[in-house]
Amino acid sequence: MPSPLANVTVLDLTQFEAGTSCTQMLAWLGANVIKIEHPKGGDPGRGLGADPNGPDAWYFIILNANKRSVTLNLRDPHGKELFARMVPKADVVVENLGPGSLERLGITWEWLSGLNPAIIFARVKGFGTYGPWSGFPSFDMIAQATGGSMSVTGEADREPLRPGSTIGDTGTGIHAAIGIAAAYIQRLRTGKGQPVEVAMQDAVANFVRVPMTSMYSSGRAVQRRGSAGNRPPNGVYRCKGDGINDYVYIGILGDGQYARLWKTLGRPELAGDPEYQTPRGRAKHAEEIQQLVSGWAAQRTKFEAMEEMGCAGVPASAVYGGEDVFEDQHLRERGSVVDLEHPARGRFSMIGNPLKLADNDTPLRTAPLLGQHNGEVYAELLGMTPAELDRLAAEGVL
């Protein structure tokens, strides 16, 4: 079986994370993603945290797997002309450049659809292309603040905290990939392309919709609670070991899970005690419950605690650090952590495709070097010869 998006060609004008996450997801599903980069430096993400051990930052490498890279100076008239010749060969154009960047180059929906009425033009923007704030720049932390995620993260009575995960960037990119897939399915019926737009603020607000439901009943702002839930013993507990992540998180929903918890803690008699059978009763004994769970967790490693709780049917997890994620045999068996070979940095581990489609056998490939595929892509799409490419490179077009 061919990969799900095997016949889809994507012209990738993205940079940093929000847009690159979108196109990487499409590439993981088999799309022919052609990353178009400026000849001098390429995607700015290539230099974000780069070190002397290789030409590109790890940041770039983990966000651009399965893509091909070509160089093209879109500010040069000859470069824009080449891009115009590529558009009719493509199905999708994706960009997440700063507000107004493509418009200043004359690359608009009207221009693209005039070249290819079936093109899908996907745009990832901090605040979208319309609305009062559409001209404002944005990165992940700005989106997390304006989308509401920061307001619900942190300890009670302390300042809001930015979450460690980059849902403003990668989360928006995945939203955009879904929008592109929907537009492509619609195009199969109508033959027409369309613009697709996802604002980072909009995507983060979507991620926060469940925490925000408390406002419907309370009528006031969502309260920060740190790692603790609103039902004891939900929260984080210290386990054996002195590492910064030697904790287990326990999160319970439903009275039946509490009965299994009491048994796991060695207190099965609590399952028959009316005081421990209702949320109100358990709230009265919150301090006692916390001490009981704390004492139990302190005698076990985080993985022992997770194993024991999980086998008993109690939702719990070791708090994974980065090293735990990359070494986890469960993630590796599922292909969610993979080992790849980079041409300059050698063998390394990275997070793989989280989508598991039975008929998707797209092999994972490492991120490309800048302009690595100039020869094959320009020959494949435009029939250009090595001599032509050399001339254009000398002129600063490629």
- With contact defined as beta carbons under 8 Å apart, do 214 and 222 qualify? yes
Reduced to 3 states (helix: H, G, I; strand: E, B; else coil), residue 231 is coil
Reduced to 3 states (helix: H, G, I; strand: E, B; else coil), residue 182 is helix
Q: Which residues, 6+ apart, have CB-to-CB distance to 159 below 8 Å?
A: none
Distances (CA, A) of 151 to 16, 172, 203: 25, 18, 15
Tokens of 217: 């009943």
* The pairing of beta strand 92-95 with beta strand 120-125: parallel
What is the DSSP code string of 78-112?
HHHHHHHHHGGG-SEEEE-PSTTHHHHTT--HHHH
Tokens of 70: 């070509």
Q: Where are the alpha helices (DSSP H) in the chain?
A: 18-28, 58-63, 77-86, 101-104, 109-115, 140-146, 172-190, 200-207, 214-218, 255-264, 279-284, 286-298, 302-311, 322-327, 329-333, 374-382, 386-394
| Cα angle 342-346-348, degrees, rounded to a multiple of 5 | 80
Is residue 169 annotated as part of the catalytic site, yes or no?
A: yes
Q: CA nearest 61: which of 272, 370, 273? A: 370
Q: CA nearest 162: which of 181, 140, 186? A: 140
Q: Which of 51, 169, 246, 361 is catalytic?
A: 169
- Provide the annotated active-site residues: 169
